[in-house]
Amino acid sequence: MIIKNFSLYNFRNYNEQKIDFQQGINLLIGSNGQGKTNILEGINYLLTGKSYRVKQENELILWGKDKFYLQASCLVNDRLIKLESYYETGKKVMKINQLACKRLSDYVGTVNAVFFSPDDLNIIKKSPNERRRFLDILIAQVKPAHVSLLNSYLKIIKQKNILLRHEKRIDLLKGQIQAWNEQLVEIGSKIIINRGVFTEKLNNYCRTIFKSIFSVDDDIDLVYSSLGKKDINEALSIFPEILEIKMMLEIEKKTVIIGPHRDDLLIDLNGKAAKLFASQGQQRSMVLCLKLAEMEIILKEKGDYPILLLDDVLSELDEFRREYLIEYIDSANKQTIITMTGADQKIVNRKKAVYQVTNGSIRREE
């Protein structure tokens, strides 16, 4: 997949800007605070319909303005696709080839991107929430209906939580919880299955890739742990029963305890939890491995490589892994947009285009 050109109007620190991108490596160079990340955020927003940085679109509007507009012409399997996104306080419109999409699930995954920034170390280091999010974003890219499932699930959890907090009459409460639980099992099981299936796909790619970027003696292992079980089928078969068993506990705690919103993607290095035992360098290699596996899954499912967005990550990788990554990008001339503060000669030698980013303005170098 290729983003041929990208335009921003009143997005972050850009007033009006158009950029033509090339196949292969595109370098965005500029000192801190100039707007490099904002460009990647804009592209990522346009492709996914969501910001990975903020919950409120208002924050994306150029200060002092009241709307933003993004647009790109892309190629997917050599087919031209025009994406547009428009936001004006409270109103959000996403269009594919001039047609407005009613739901995010009709829009997301049309053009795919894999985004990689230093913050992605959180996938390994931080809470299960980060890992579920990583997995859900990947699934949504190739199976957009997953977004609708997640939305329905969130609504159920929200309603059940309201009930647990406010209904004081215990018999009434139990009956209503049972009704919500039926829906929770129906939607929740589909989410568990999706996540389980994609974890297996990821694991297969990761195991091979990791040996090339780390060492043949080291093993990465991913397991989706649902309802405390490492076996998805076991989790699915006990799901209704656990909800029954834990009902009194949920009533006591006044919150939903059981369900895939509490699941985790376990990431091990040589049989031990990477979060606790892997070094910082090993964790970085593992994240790189997850991202490359994501690229391969999208290629397999969509027949075309996604656009790779690398925000300040090259400087964080050691020489060997940086070389590996650049070779990987170069091998199929994958479109990659890389931000960095200074020009690294090795990358500049392979680049197709260099852009200088200065205070919300972009100029291509000849």
Ligand X SMILES: Nc1ncnc2c1ncn2[C@@H]1O[C@H](COP(=O)(O)OP(=O)(O)O)[C@@H](O)[C@H]1O
Q: Does 38 bind ligand X (CB under 6 A)?
A: yes
Distances (CA, A) of 198 to 44, 75, 225: 21, 26, 13
The entry of Mg ion, ligand X, none near residue 193 (CB within 5 to 8 angstroms by kind) is none
Q: Does 36 bind ligand X (CB under 6 A)?
A: yes
The entry of ligand X, Mg ion, none near residue 38 (CB within 5 to 8 angstroms by kind) is ligand X
The entry of Mg ion, ligand X, none near residue 12 (CB within 5 to 8 angstroms by kind) is ligand X
Residue number, 66 or 234, with CB nearest to ligand X: 66
How is residue 342 written in tokens? 């200074």
The entry of Mg ion, ligand X, none near residue 35 (CB within 5 to 8 angstroms by kind) is ligand X
At its nearest, how many Å lie between ligand X and the CB of residue 91? Answer: 18
Residue number, 37 or 225, with CB nearest to ligand X: 37
Q: Does 44 bind ligand X (CB under 6 A)?
A: no
Residues between 53 and 112 with contacts to ligand X, criterion CB under 6 A: 59, 61-63
Q: Does 42 bind ligand X (CB under 6 A)?
A: no
At its nearest, how many Å lie between ligand X and the CB of residue 137? Answer: 20
Q: Does 30 bind ligand X (CB under 6 A)?
A: yes
**Chain residues that interact with Mg ion, rule: CB under 5 A:** 36-37
At its nearest, how many Å lie between Mg ion and the CB of residue 194? Answer: 32
Q: Does 17 bind ligand X (CB under 6 A)?
A: no
Query: Which span sits near ligand X by CB under 6 A: 29-37, 69-77, 114-122, 295-303?
Result: 29-37
The entry of Mg ion, ligand X, none near residue 291 (CB within 5 to 8 angstroms by kind) is none
Query: Which span sits near ligand X by CB under 6 A: 36-44, 84-92, 218-226, 347-355?
Result: 36-44
What is the rounded distance in angstroms from the CA atom of residue 60 to the CA atom of residue 73? 21
Residue number, 324 or 355, with CB nearest to ligand X: 355
Q: Which one, of 51, 67, 48, 52, lies nearest residue 9 by Cα?
A: 67
Residue number, 36 or 160, with CB nearest to Mg ion: 36
What is the separation, in whole angstroms, between the first and last Cα of the chain? Answer: 25
Q: What is the 3-state secondary structure (H, E, C) of the chain?
A: CEEEEEEEEEECCEEEEEEECCCCEEEEECCCCCCHHHHHHHHHHHHHCCCCCCCCHHHHECCCCCEEEEEEEEEECCEEEEEEEEEECCEEEEEECCEECCCHHHCCCCCCEEEECHHHHHHHHCCHHHHHHHHHHHHHHHCCHHHHHHHHHHHHHHHHHHHHHHCCCHHHHHHHHHHHHHHHHHHHHHHHHHHHHHHHHHHHHHHHHHHHHCCCCCCEEEEEEECCECCHHHHHHHHHHHHHHCHHHHHHHCCCCCCHHHCEEEEEECCEEHHHHCCHHHHHHHHHHHHHHHHHHHHHHHCCCCEEEEECCHHHCCHHHHHHHHHHHHHCCCCEEEEECCCCHHHHHHCCEEEEECCCCEEECC
Q: Which one, of 43, 64, 63, 41, lies nearest residue 53 by Cα?
A: 41
Q: Does 356 bind ligand X (CB under 6 A)?
A: no
What is the rounded distance in angstroms from the CA atom of residue 164 to the CA atom of residue 182? 16
What number of chain residues touch ligand X (CB under 6 A)?
A: 15
The entry of ligand X, Mg ion, none near residue 260 (CB within 5 to 8 angstroms by kind) is none
How is residue 315 written in tokens? 């400087």
The entry of Mg ion, ligand X, none near residue 30 (CB within 5 to 8 angstroms by kind) is ligand X
The entry of Mg ion, ligand X, none near residue 347 (CB within 5 to 8 angstroms by kind) is none
Among 6, 26, 29, 35, binds ligand X (CB under 6 A): 35
At its nearest, how many Å lie between Mg ion and the CB of residue 34? Answer: 8
Among 7, 17, 26, 37, binds ligand X (CB under 6 A): 37
Residue number, 118 or 228, with CB nearest to ligand X: 118
Interaction site with ligand X (CB under 6 A): 12-13, 30, 32-38, 59, 61-63, 357
